[in-house]
A and B are shown apart, each in its own frame.
Chain A
Amino acid sequence: KAGVTQTPRYLIKTRGQQVTLSCSPISGHRSVSWYQQTPGQGLQFLFEYFSETQRNKGNFPGRFSGRQFSNSRSEMNVSTLELGDSALYLCASRAGTEETQYFGPGTRLLVL
Chain B
Amino acid sequence: AQSVTQLGSHVSVSEGALVLLRCNYSSSVPPYLFWYVQYPNQGLQLLLKYTTGATLVKGINGFEAEFKKSETSFHLTKPSAHMSDAAEYFCAVSPQTGANNLFFGTGTRLTVIP
Is B truly associated with A? yes
- Total contacting residues, chain B, CB less than 8 A: 24
Q: Total number of A-B contacts with CB less than 8 angstroms?
A: 50
Select which of B43, B49, B104 is within 8 A of A104 by beta carbon. Answer: B43
Interface of A is mostly: strand
Provide the bound-state CA to CA distance between A6 and B44, in Å: 13
Asked if A45 and B107 make an inter-chain contact with CB atoms under 8 angstroms apart, the answer reads no
> What is the 8 Å Cβ interface bit string for chain B, positions 72-114, against chain A (1 contact, 0 not)?
0000000000000000001010101001111111110000000
Asked if A99 and B49 make an inter-chain contact with CB atoms under 8 angstroms apart, the answer reads yes
**Cβ–Cβ < 8 Å partners of B103 in chain A:** 45
Asked if B100 and A99 make an inter-chain contact with CB atoms under 8 angstroms apart, the answer reads yes
Give A residues with C-beta under 8 Å from B: 4, 6, 33, 35, 42-45, 48, 55-56, 58, 90, 92, 97, 99-106, 108
Some 6 contacts from A to B, beta carbons below 8 A apart, are A35-B102, A42-B106, A42-B107, A43-B102, A97-B100, A100-B34
